[in-house]
A and B are shown apart, each in its own frame.
Chain A
């Protein structure tokens, strides 16, 4: 495959400790395969050529448990670094050492996940691991582990970044290898690349935040075989990429568009997810619903009236001109000139009133589409005034796209707490559904009919599925109408009609409402000292209809008004009050402040505890304990 040029997306990344890094990426394409999103990073043939170059600073076959094992594996009998030495020791030995050195922060030994390995008292490695693979013929186990690099204990506190991270293997028979490369380069840039190497294909799957995805900024190139190879790769951790819970390290707001927050899978969960109806990979049953959702995205359905092949302009029964002010002045002189005009035209004007040929005269804040010019003709009367001829009845005004970013990355970003209104020129303020808009790309397109001045406004929402139970959206979800022309009355009758139409429009109750839920929306546990609900409690009318002549004087670009609450959260709130969870876990795997749901079905087997002691246990666990 030919060399590909990387496209970098750069942004600033502020970590928990206040450090700001300039982030770049080697992703250049996004694809959807089998309903799942894949980010494929580009690569060059140069990298393949380097497979014969055993430079482990560039490539990471697998790394194992500690530096001693690492060096042993990667060095052959001649003490040369050799990528073929990738098979581990026997299973029992491996497992013992593995468990001794590693602390899983997500996942498990069998299914893969993310764990920490302490190299020294000050250095820790974070590893991406995809579980065990047993070679039946050789009875050896080799574990595909991605080495992510190391960071110091100080950096570990609320910060996740790596340096000297390693990249992928070149082995074409390397099924199931998974690697995450996150490196802090010189100049304080971070490369974030997540990938799998299989049969020589280079495919990358990115951890993404279902709540806030802007994949339009990512793009990749790939080989023609990579899709087939990926789909046959059977060694991916079940939930590694979709459900990786890495907030423990990243913190709620560290990697704005890079981290992933899962709503389903959690570390060390012992539930068999394969059969869970609402699990990401679970089976929903014949009754439908749940995880069996086809996430194939909708096609882009933005309409384009400008693209219509036939309109009134093509009939000849109507003629549309785009005169300048000077040309209109000349036209005025023609229409109302007296006998000093040519005799022929004078006679014609006397017999057929030119004014009767005028349908309308209007002004617009855009340029109509015209490609030719000609004299303005009133019936058979040539005015002698040349003007541009409009050859398209419809005009499309694309106002562009705005991304609505999540801010709090919590329920507060959504309905009942945040609100969103959209100002549309010639329409006014209109409310949108914050649940549809949050984290979405919103595109506004006007379709204008020059014959009447009527405009059809389409609000196009693009959003990726937020979970396995959600769908991608790429569709017009709102349409509004108005009139974007300034009508110039040509008679007193026209003026009366115009004024009346303006009155009718401005009197209509079109308002952008910023209304929050009533105070009772959040039940219980509320302090009356501080208002705890929503951004605004009263209904606010942001305006009335502003179509036509009124709108002509107003703002000409749409804009969104986003209202969201500000939180008052003490430091370490989670350590004293915890955060909402609703997850099922084994108590042995829980760490930190914990409140157990009162609806938990407890096993009554608490060893030798009496019935009253059992109730005491349940009560205290419900109220909150530190595990």
Chain B
């Protein structure tokens, strides 16, 4: 079984990882009992350097984060964990989903629990353009009907 070893510079939450191929077609051994989600790979220590932190195993059709290195007796044992975003990217992209939060497609008129407010609200006064006139004082005298 062979694998490709990369240096990954992206956060694990990125679907499209920024990966640089460092070692290609490296023979590996998957230690048993083997987990397709958290496999342990064994590689001859002279075949890869410590700049790698990401691996693709073709036979498993998956990308893996290298979580830990262990070196012993001329071999490197790699504790890996599947990167589901990269491994199943094509299938994920076909999904129709409901967004709860999004960077570009949003509606700010929905209540946002993450919105932080200052405890110093703003007050604004909007005066109407007209009304009664304080400088005007007019008398109104009302009498019962009178002969004109």
Q: Which residues of A contact B (CB under 8 A)?
A: 211, 245, 247-248, 252, 261-263, 266-267, 270, 315-325, 328, 331, 357-368, 374, 376-380, 387, 390, 397-402, 404, 408-412, 414, 417, 425, 444, 446, 450-451, 484-485, 488, 522-527, 530-536, 556-569, 574-575, 577-588, 590-600, 602-603, 605-610, 612-613, 616-617, 620-627
Contact = CB atoms under 8 A, between A and B. Distances in A.
B88 A613 contact: yes
Given A366-B132, A580-B100, A582-B98, A524 B113 contact: yes
22 contacts: A317-B144, A328-B141, A331-B141, A357-B143, A360-B141, A361-B140, A377-B148, A379-B147, A397-B131, A399-B128, A412-B117, A446-B131, A556-B131, A559-B127, A562-B123, A562-B125, A565-B117, A579-B106, A591-B103, A595-B102, A616-B37, A622-B100
A325 B139 contact: yes
B143 A319 contact: yes
B143 A587 contact: no
A425 B132 contact: yes
B96 A584 contact: yes
A567 B116 contact: yes
A246 to B, nearest CB: 12
B140 A450 contact: yes
Interface in B119-137: 119-134, 136-137
Contact of A522 (B101, B113, B122): B113
B62 to A, nearest CB: 9
Given A376-B143, A567-B116, A578 B108 contact: no
Contact of A566 (B90, B91, B121, B126): B121
Contacts of B82: 613, 616
Interface in B74-115: 82, 84-85, 87-88, 90-115
B36 interface: yes
Contact of A591 (B14, B61, B104, B115): B104
A579 B103 contact: yes
A365 B113 contact: no
Given A365-B132, A411-B111, A578 B103 contact: yes
B136 A245 contact: no
Nearest to B131: A557
Interface of B: 11, 13-16, 36-37, 61, 82, 84-85, 87-88, 90-134, 136-148
Contacts of B146: 319, 357, 377-380
A318 B100 contact: no
Contacts of A321: 139-143
Given A410-B109, A525-B114, A587-B93, 7 more contacts: A363-B138, A402-B128, A485-B140, A533-B117, A582-B99, A595-B100, A596-B98
B143 A378 contact: yes
Given A377-B147, A580-B110, A587-B97, A531 B119 contact: yes
Interface-centre pick from B100, B109, B141 (highest chain A CB count, 10 A): B141
A425 B101 contact: no
B91 A606 contact: yes
B128 A581 contact: no
A600 B126 CA distance: 44
B15 A625 contact: yes
Interface-centre pick from B14, B16, B105 (highest chain A CB count, 10 A): B105
Given A380-B147, A559-B127, A322 B138 contact: yes
Interface-centre pick from A376, A379, A387, A606 (highest chain B CB count, 10 A): A606
Contacts of B113: 522-526
Nearest to A554: B134
A5 to B, nearest CB: 26
A417 B99 CA distance: 24
Given A361-B141, A606-B91, A597 B100 contact: yes
A607 B91 contact: yes
A261 B14 CA distance: 28
B98 A625 contact: no
Contacts of A559: 125-128
Contacts of B130: 397-400, 557
Contact of B144 (A319, A374, A610): A319
A241 B13 CA distance: 36
A263 to B, nearest CB: 5
A336 to B, nearest CB: 15
Contact of B122 (A362, A450, A564, A574): A564
Given A320-B141, A362-B140, A380-B146, A580 B108 contact: yes
B9 to A, nearest CB: 13
A359 B140 contact: no
A316 B146 CA distance: 8
A557 B128 contact: yes
Contacts of B132: 364-366, 397, 425, 446, 484, 556-557
Contacts of A534: 117, 121
A441 to B, nearest CB: 11
